[in-house]
Amino acid sequence: MRLSPFSFLSLFLVPLSSSAAPHHLKLRQSVTPPRHWIRLGRAPSAHIIQLRIALPQPRFPELERHLAEISNPFHGSYGEHLSKEEVEELVAPHPSSLDAVREWLASHGIRSEARHQSLAGDWVTVYVPVAQAEEMLGTEFSVWKHDKDGDVLVRTTEYSLPALLDQHVELIQPTTIFHRAKRLRSTLHFSPPPDVPPSFSADAKITIPGYAVPVDASCNTTITVSCLKQLYNMVNYVPQAMNKNGIALTSYLEEFANFADLRKFYADQVPAALNTSFNVVLINGGLNKQSDAGAEANLDVQFALGISFPTPGTFYSTGGKPPFKPDKHAVVNTNEPYMTWLDFILGQKNIPQTISTSYGDDEQTVPRDYARRVCAGFAQLGARGTSILFGSGDGGVGDGNPDPTTQICISNDGTNRTRFIASFPSSCPFVTTVGGTTQIPEVAADFSGGGFSEVFPRPWWQEAAVEKFLKSLPNGTYAGLFNPEGRAYPDVSAQADNFKIFFRGSSTPIGGTSASTPSFAGLVALLNDARLTAGKPSLGFLNPLIYSLEGKGFHDVVVGNAPGCGTPGFNATVGWDPVTGFGTPDFGRLKELVLQY
């Protein structure tokens, strides 16, 4: 007999009595739905939702202190990364919190067999019908539809918990989270290349003051692996630590990387790699359909692996596309993807030393407690010696829409203030955020995302650089439109437009910070190769090192701006700025610097 999802769950539930249900519920969170979300009506009572329960991590400040020390090149513990077990010990909840949550779940008839607990014990996950979740959380779930793209989610605008759980539960999601991971710009241009040859000859070069080698003139119209290796001084480096090093790309929203396209890319740009490929890891029902190539996935894999070849590459495909069909009572994953991926990767003994992600959304659509908790997961990876890179977004200071004339830059905190819109996870202080440049000599790409977080305070390692930038602004510039005390981003940049990839069998140009991010990640993988070859540990969390260099090892980009919210946005300027960070990398110089520590 085939069981419905509701019948299947009933095997793990015990009958409820009115006396078993906890009383004295206390409101824990209430939100205003972000713009563009329209309530369609009550969620079907039998629809299954996944609830993730976050337990407090009382020793997380200790982990944060360790991370600061092992990431600071001037500290005696630099590079002494923590083990998986040490990190788990530092994020484990107090046993009393686990007991309280288990008792609460049991009071609602949820047996131990129906609970999933993370290895550290700091997350407990259950699948329950909507009717069960509504009773547990004293709320009402609804079906919500996004009026721009039609996505449908099951969410509530508030939830409550027994007062006895106050100190034992940090948050429960997905409840009030309307955040959706979106691909960054990745603008495809399908027009065929012109028949007329370019005006420059095949051997024409551009000499750029301060850059190590001349650059092919063709790179001003088409970016290839060769262009990036010339621009960023990687031409002559030969990796040697392939058996110790690794690079990975993450994929969500059913974006698949195509092996045949990669072979064509390698034949065109990296002939030595022609007979190689990458490892695919499927998470939470993820797929990698070869009949349905994704431009984003192809871009990530082709340039990250093309630059770092022959470093072993991994492609993580995380399943669970959020949209829900309200007329189907099926088990679907309505959770945003970063925590699903983090659950998996934090449980692995061995992790690639460099991981790149090209997805994000408006920071203000993410409940603050959830944003902090996801960000804390990235801190755990950094503590274990992995560098996490995210694109800065493609809407300048605006809401992620690459067309600045149609951006809506209004706060969703009930005040309806005009505000610049930060991007998440780009704004997380425990990731390295990559902005975009274009042209040769390089200028800021006009879509390069950047700004200041409304959630995360400015971290210690960027105090001096950001203060210097803020003091350079004329008095009153954009006053009230951004939080000058917030974590500022991006940290660095790289070329971000006119990339030549292979997609569905043909070459096509593509661009966005989803191009600059895997490119910078490929360079970081080579820096890790140099350190590992020299017997040193991987770089891990990059930001304290980057800011301590004060621009050394980078080409400062001082021309351009990234408009948004009806303004010209911030300008690229001398030193760090919230358009290009410290600028673009010089691998040769950075290699010398990182081998000193």
The angle at the Cα of 123, spanning 122 to 129, to the nearest 5 degrees, equals: 160
440 touches 224 (CB < 8 A): no
Name, in order, each residue with C-beta under 8 angstroms of 526's C-beta and a sequence gap of 6 or more. Answer: 234, 237, 239, 307, 308, 311, 587, 591
Q: Using alpha carbons, select from 446, 395, 453 the residue that is nearest to residue 426.
A: 453
Residues in the chain: 597
| Pair 358, 251: CB distance under 8 Å | no
Q: Which residue has the tokens 């301590």?
A: 548
Euclidean distance between CA atoms 562 and 183, whole angstroms: 19
Helices (H), ranges, 434-512: 463-472
Q: Is 514 a catalytic residue?
A: yes
Is 316 in contact with 341 (CB distance < 8 Å)? Answer: yes
**Burial class of residue 38 in the structure, from the number of CB atoms within 10 Å of its CB (0-12 exposed, 13-18 middle, 19+ buried):** exposed
Strand locations in 492-590 (E): 492-495, 499-503, 506-511, 554-555, 584-585
Which positions make up the binding site? 556-557, 575, 577
64 catalytic residue (yes or no): no
Would you call 40 helix, strand, or coil by DSSP?
Answer: strand
Looking at this protein, which amino acid is placed at residue 58?
P
Active-site pick, 122, 261, 296, 362: 296
Please pick, among 426, 448, 514, 519, the residue that the annotation labels catalytic: 514
358 has which bridge partners?
A: none
503: three-class secondary structure by DSSP:
strand
Q: Is 103 a catalytic residue?
A: no
Annotated binding site for Ca(2+): 556-557, 575, 577
What is the set of active-site residues?
296, 300, 514
